[in-house]
Chains A and B, each alone.
Chain A
């Protein structure tokens, strides 16, 4: 039980997917101008992450034991299909959200975090439940980072920023400060 809690908290805080592992940065810098869009994309990402975790576990257990060289190809095909299905479901049942997320929904396919989760889960040989907890932690960690960055950027956008730091310069320095802050969690849970 404590192993599961450790996996969850370490992925959420200590090894945060965005701020410590550098995954999911395209959406981190692209979609964080408004808090609402940011946490909704984080929620969509979490959904896709959980489904991916289950599919990856199934693939690893039943298919890829005999053909490890097909790993990358199999993972990416599964992820692309999952995102396609999620996109169709959201379009049918939550059309407002679909219009809001726009192009960023199919872009979840190229989100390094999803494939990164698949690869980490495989290399650490997580069981089914461990994989689920890992995916939840990763998704919540992504959402946390996205929301934090979005709330800071909303305030930066109405502040008096020198011209040289507009666009990416200031955002990257802010990300560096956020990452530094999360480094304070290092060593959490280790005895």
Chain B
């Protein structure tokens, strides 16, 4: 007789609405498919330019620029590129944007450009960009390609910032050039040298491996 009055309680039992695919494209590049920590691509710049935060940030920004622009262009012209010359066309498009980034950096921030040295042109062979172009940008529309490129680029920059903050803090006692520790701090110079780069990334991977192993063992314990 009395129809049940709809209360808000019913909606709580419904599954949450799935996030729009565009946001998923963006977010997966930062967390589940992080290019450095999960896919293990782009390790060369992750260790080479991460001896100070400003260098890492500059490299990250340059990579995001090249990623977004080349993903957009590749996705926009994907129907007009013959399959045989796919990779060569991608490399040419990426190389053009890298040249632009290199020139802008050399003109606007000459000290950073000199500190990064040849690693800005080396963005061309950064496996992340070619890998995403091949796997994603060449197959989906421009909007999704740009979202994915932004996510991957931010994920890469995040990884670079983590590594370079750790290295600069211990190796120079500063962050972004600002001294953090007092004048009696003896910097651990090893950290800003090549072995320090390997060790920092290794420590991060060890912590990740520990957490994965911990979660796996907890999962097995609950199941049995």
Contact = CB atoms under 8 A, between A and B. Distances in A.
Interface of A: 19-26, 29, 69-73, 76-77, 80, 109-112, 114-116, 119-120, 123, 163-173, 175-177, 179-180, 183
B98 A72 contact: yes
Given A80-B88, A119-B118, A175 B43 contact: no
Binding site of A, secondary structure by majority: helix, strand, loop or mixed?
A: helix
B176 interface: no
Given A177-B195, A183-B193, A168 B40 contact: yes
B32 interface: no
Contacts of B68: none
B121 interface: yes
Given A111-B125, A183-B194, A169 B206 contact: yes
B125 A110 contact: yes
Contacts, number: 118
A166 to B, nearest CB: 7
A66 to B, nearest CB: 16
A73 B44 contact: no
A76 B199 contact: no
Given A25-B43, A110-B125, A172 B209 contact: no
B105 interface: no
A179 B198 contact: yes
Contacts of B121: 71-72, 115, 119
B8 to A, nearest CB: 45
Contacts of B197: 22
Interface residues of B, number: 40
Interface string B14-54: 00000000000000000000000000110111011000000
Contacts of A111: 125
15 contacts: A25-B44, A26-B43, A71-B99, A73-B95, A76-B91, A76-B92, A80-B91, A110-B125, A163-B209, A164-B212, A168-B40, A169-B209, A173-B198, A173-B202, A176-B198
A180 B196 CA distance: 9
Contact of B206 (A29, A69, A76, A165): A165
Given A76-B91, A115-B122, 19 more contacts: A26-B127, A72-B102, A77-B88, A77-B91, A110-B125, A112-B122, A115-B121, A115-B125, A119-B121, A164-B209, A164-B210, A165-B209, A168-B202, A169-B208, A170-B202, A173-B206, A175-B198, A175-B202, A176-B198
A189 B131 CA distance: 41
B113 to A, nearest CB: 12
10 closest A-B pairs by beta carbon, nearest first, are A172-B202, A176-B198, A22-B48, A164-B210, A169-B206, A164-B209, A119-B118, A179-B195, A176-B199, A180-B195
Interface in B166-216: 193-199, 201-202, 205-206, 208-210, 212-213
Given A72-B99, A164-B209, A116 B122 contact: yes
B97 to A, nearest CB: 10
Contacts of A116: 118, 122
Interface in B72-105: 87-88, 91-92, 95-96, 98-99, 102-103
Nearest to A19: B194
A120 B213 contact: no
Nearest to B45: A22
A163 B201 CA distance: 17
